[in-house]
């Protein structure tokens, strides 16, 4: 477990260094026993201009597959990795639950980004006035 946390922290630092956007892929998998799993994969260009692909999360995700529940899970993954501000795209399969997932996730991410921009803008105004 220590190796996993060390590698995860190194990857988080790498995400902080890259200034470009990251493309994500999420997939829902069902094994033969009916157990569900969710995977989140990141695709990005590192500081050495090398295309990198890494599985960020792979965990148990039991049915029912509800769009709102999926959105909360993916949003939790993004928060955990600290990459919610560098997401360029999210590729999903054609499941009907993804319609709700996308609407919910977009509104949550836009709120975070707009809040960040607004706070940063206000901080710049305060700093500039002094």
* Residues 20-47: tens digit of each pLDDT: 788 899 988 888 988 889 999 999 988 8
pTM of the model: 0.77
Position 117 scores a pLDDT of 45
Distance CA 57, CA 122 (A): 35
Position 59 scores a pLDDT of 93
Position 111 scores a pLDDT of 65
Domain boundaries, the chain: 2-129
**More confident call, 98 vs 114:** 98
| Strand order across the 51-60 sheet | 51-60, 36-45, 22-30, 87-91
């Amino acid at each position: 477990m220590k190796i996993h946390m060390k590698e995860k922290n190194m990857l988080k630092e790498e995400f902080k260094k890259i200034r470009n956007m990251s493309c994500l892929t999420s997939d829902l998998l069902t094994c033969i026993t009916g157990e569900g799993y969710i995977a989140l994969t990141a695709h990005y260009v590192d500081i050495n201009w090398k295309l990198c692909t890494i599985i960020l999360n792979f965990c148990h995700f039991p049915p029912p597959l509800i769009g709102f529940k999926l959105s909360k899970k993916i949003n939790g993954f993004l928060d955990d990795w600290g990459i919610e501000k560098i997401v360029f795209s999210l590729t999903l399969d054609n499941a009907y639950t993804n319609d709700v997932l996308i609407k919910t996730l977009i509104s949550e991410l836009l709120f975070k980004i707009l809040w960040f921009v607004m706070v940063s803008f206000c901080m710049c105004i305060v700093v500039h006035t002094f």
